[in-house]
Structure 1
Amino acid sequence: MDSEAPATAPAPAKRYFTWDEVAKRSGSEEERWLVIERKVYDISEFTHRHPGGSRVINHYAGQDATDPFMAFHIDKGLVRKYMNSLLIGELSPEQPSFEPTKNKELMDEFRELRATVERMGLMKANHVFFLLYLLHILLLDVAAWLTLWFFGTSLVPFLLCAVLLSTVQTQAGWLQHDFGHLSVFSTSTWNHLLHHFVIGHLKGAPASWWNHLHFQHHAKPNCFLKDPDISMHPSFFALGKILSVEDLAWMMTFYARIFLTYVPFLGLKGVLGLFFMVRFLESIWFVWVTQMNHIPMHIDYDRNMDWVSTQLRATCNVHRSAFNDWFSGHLNFQIEHHLFPTMPRHNYYKVAPLVQSLCAKHGIEYQSKPLLSAFADIIYSLKESGQLWLDAYLHQ
């Protein structure tokens, strides 16, 4: 008697969706979808396991996330493998690749530009540049200690030491930013390791806390409820929710190093005074640099615009110079940094002319200003905001 061939299970039918169906899965706690390269993914359960945090991926729920996906990940092939379990279908053939709110021609040309940038090798880092940058931070750190060793603890050496340590802290802040954006090494592991060292051991701050907040800013810059940089976030709450044991270990090495290094010179009260003075000076430096590239720029709720328009509405540049590049950690090229967040900073100036040409072709303002003009804009913005508060609450 002939045996029958075993029946083969039919392949599951491919599911197709429209943009309207995807958009409906944007804010529900039960179901959240997003689209990457026309494929539809159900991220409802995955958000809490997302390495970059649940909020940043939720910001694109109900939307096309192709461009942020390309912008934030350096090993896209590996990430796509993990995404297969989330795949539920794709857009119907008659559906356009872009949502109606987005400029198709602009996005096509930007993706061509990104491919050109990758062919030019502009996404590859010069490791010598970053090594020398780290060494100059460590030398300034040693110089601060030597200042007290040779000149004592009188007022002038104390202030000089504070200035040197403030410079160390700020420049280490720019360097940890490079590692946090995965822009130095070709693998995430090495970037994460050095990120923990620089932000934890040299600055005493948690890496995971920075990542979870900063990538939200890049995903939806200057968008209410989505960009933490324009929202109120009590730091103790954020730390309590996200801080890891690994972060605590790195931070403890920072505080131990500071106290063991400077207590023999200054005593406990002197070290505390030095620490708070350094944090004060560093915070002023940090705030001026970060604000000059984002204020006064357009602030609004998320309008689900295309990647280029979203980033250009929220950023501007400060003119290139050796001092401006060093002073801001090359974040004077804020436009290029937001469009290509994993690009090594020493290549920003090379891609800037290409970005300017793209903006000029599509009538998008590419704003670049002198350093002092950028500082003046901050003052003007504060004055304008203060007047609004006066009008609203004091009726003046």
Structure 2
Amino acid sequence: MTSTTLTRANSETVTGNRSDPASRDSASRDSAGSDFAALSRRIVAAGLLKRRPRYYVMRFLLTDAAFAGGWALFAWVGDSWAQLLVAALLAVAFTQVAFLGHDAGHRQVSGSRRFSEVLGLLHGNLGVGLSYGWWMDKHTRHHANPNHEERDPDVGAGAIVWTGKQARSRRGLGAFLARRQAYLFFPLLLLEGLNLHVSSVRSLRGLGRHRRVEAVLLAAHLIGYTTAVLLVLSPLRALAFIAVQQGLFGLYMGCAFAPNHKGMPVLTAADRLDFLRRQVLTSRNVRGTAADLLLGGLNYQIEHHLFPSMPRPNLRRAQPLVRDYCVQHGIEYRDATLIQSYRQVLRHLDGVGAPMR
């Protein structure tokens, strides 16, 4: 790895040995394969991979009730500009429902594939209008190769570029965006909800499993959503409601996922890291008491990437075990507050766009 790819020292890092992983001696590399196995045994012994059915029953009941309550409030408020406040509440509800779909997809809720798929389809396709199959494919590839320049779809070039190579390939409007992307990052997230919906619909052609079911549920969501909005609101207020609700939904989703890997080391085909180091070195945790609720457990990104099926409430308990283990083995373990994580993301985006200026 290059020094630009793996930037080390900062005040928010909990670390053991700060040396570049690629420069470790061969004896250290030979022993690396057993490092995750030893950590995994500790996690299993602590009972942290056991299901938490009571937690998830309550979580689903409360989240789904809040989602339904948001739509009930929408119907009660009627044709009023106060609906813009309801739109903001529903944006939060949509994101929390999406978090449940994420947990179901990782089988954190249940070990049953079928039951997990039912939960994912109902909360993803029908609930918030996102294709569960498309997301599963994309997210699985991300987990296998986090922050890999060629293999992780989450760092693929889009409206935002994440590497210098991507930035140099831009022309015209793309180059304009790359030069100013640190300033445009949060405004562009307002379009992320629309992007997710469009990507979900476009993915239907390539889906094999449950293709018809996904299409029907996505259509039911779109028809139900637009019908409800147009029946209750005048055309102008309906447009404003959709813009606010979908814009804030995209912003919230983006703000929840951005701190996890953005601004962290980007890997290439030249990098050779074992599973433990590949997951830890490319991930960042977010600390703070409010982060658990706001980020749906994604604030424990390191633990989540190491143990994707670990139930959300167990991630907090696993965190000190994983951190101490990483320190003992000289593996950088990074965490930051939510604000600090956004600053790191913006610094990275500014640095990537700098040569274009």
TM bucket (normalised to shorter chain) is 0.7 to 0.9
CA-to-aligned-CA distance 1:216-256 (integer Å, 9 cap, x gap): 00001111221011114793764432371121112122223
Larger relative contact order (CA 8 Å, sep ≥ 6): 2
CA RMSD of aligned residues (A): 2.3
Partner of 2:147, secondary structure, is: coil
* Structure 2 residue aligned with 1:212: 137
Determine which structure has the larger helix proportion and give its number: 2
Is the 8 Å Cα contact of residues 78 and 233 (structure 2) preserved in structure 1? no
* Structure 1 residue aligned with 2:104: 179
* Residues 1:241 and 2:206 aligned together: yes
Partner of 1:378, secondary structure, is: helix
* Residues 1:129 and 2:55 aligned together: yes
Given residue 107 of structure 2, which amino acid in structure 1 is its aligned partner?
A: L
| 1:340 to 1:175, Cα distance in 2 relative to 1, 3 A | same
Is the 8 Å Cα contact of residues 80 and 237 (structure 2) preserved in structure 1? no
Q: CA deviation at 1:103?
A: 3.0
Alignment partner of 2:333 out of 366, 379, 386: 366
Q: CA deviation at 1:136?
A: 2.5
What is the alpha-carbon distance in structure 2 between the residues aligned to residue 268 and residue 222 of structure 1?
Answer: 42
What is the alpha-carbon distance in structure 2 between the residues aligned to residue 335 and residue 285 of structure 1?
Answer: 21
Partner of 1:154, secondary structure, is: coil
* Structure 2 residue aligned with 1:231: 156
* Residues 1:199 and 2:124 aligned together: yes
CA-to-aligned-CA distance 1:36-86 (integer Å, 9 cap, x gap): xxxxxxxxxxxxxxxxxxxxxxxxxxxxxxxxxxxxxxxxxxxxxxxxxxx
Alignment partner of 2:37 out of 111, 129, 138: 111
* Residues 1:341 and 2:308 aligned together: yes
Q: Which has the larger radius of gyration?
A: 1
* Structure 2 residue aligned with 1:72: none
* Residues 1:262 and 2:187 aligned together: no
Given residue 205 of structure 2, which amino acid in structure 1 is its aligned partner?
A: G
Percentage of pairs with the same residue? 26
Alignment partner of 2:286 out of 313, 318, 321: 318
Is the 8 Å Cα contact of residues 107 and 306 (structure 1) preserved in structure 2? yes
Q: Point out the more displaced range, 140-149 or 335-344.
A: 140-149
What is the alpha-carbon distance in structure 2 between the residues aligned to residue 238 and residue 104 of structure 1?
Answer: 41
* Structure 2 residue aligned with 1:188: 113
Q: CA deviation at 1:280?
A: 1.1
TM-score calculated relative to the size of structure 1: 0.68
Is the 8 Å Cα contact of residues 102 and 306 (structure 1) preserved in structure 2? no
* Structure 2 residue aligned with 1:61: none
Alignment partner of 2:267 out of 300, 305, 322: 300
* Structure 1 residue aligned with 2:255: 288
What is the alpha-carbon distance in structure 1 between the residues aligned to residue 277 and residue 55 of structure 2?
Answer: 31
Structure 1 gap segments, 5+ residues each = 1-99, 391-396
Partner of 2:255, secondary structure, is: helix
**Aligned residue runs from structure 1 range 40-79, under 5 A:** none
Partner of 1:377, secondary structure, is: helix
What is the alpha-carbon distance in structure 1 between the residues aligned to residue 234 and residue 41 of structure 2?
Answer: 56
Is the 8 Å Cα contact of residues 147 and 160 (structure 1) preserved in structure 2? no
Given residue 116 of structure 2, which amino acid in structure 1 is its aligned partner?
A: N
* Structure 2 residue aligned with 1:138: 64
Q: CA deviation at 1:143?
A: 3.1
- Equivalent residues, number: 289
| 1:286 to 1:122, Cα distance in 2 relative to 1, 3 A | same
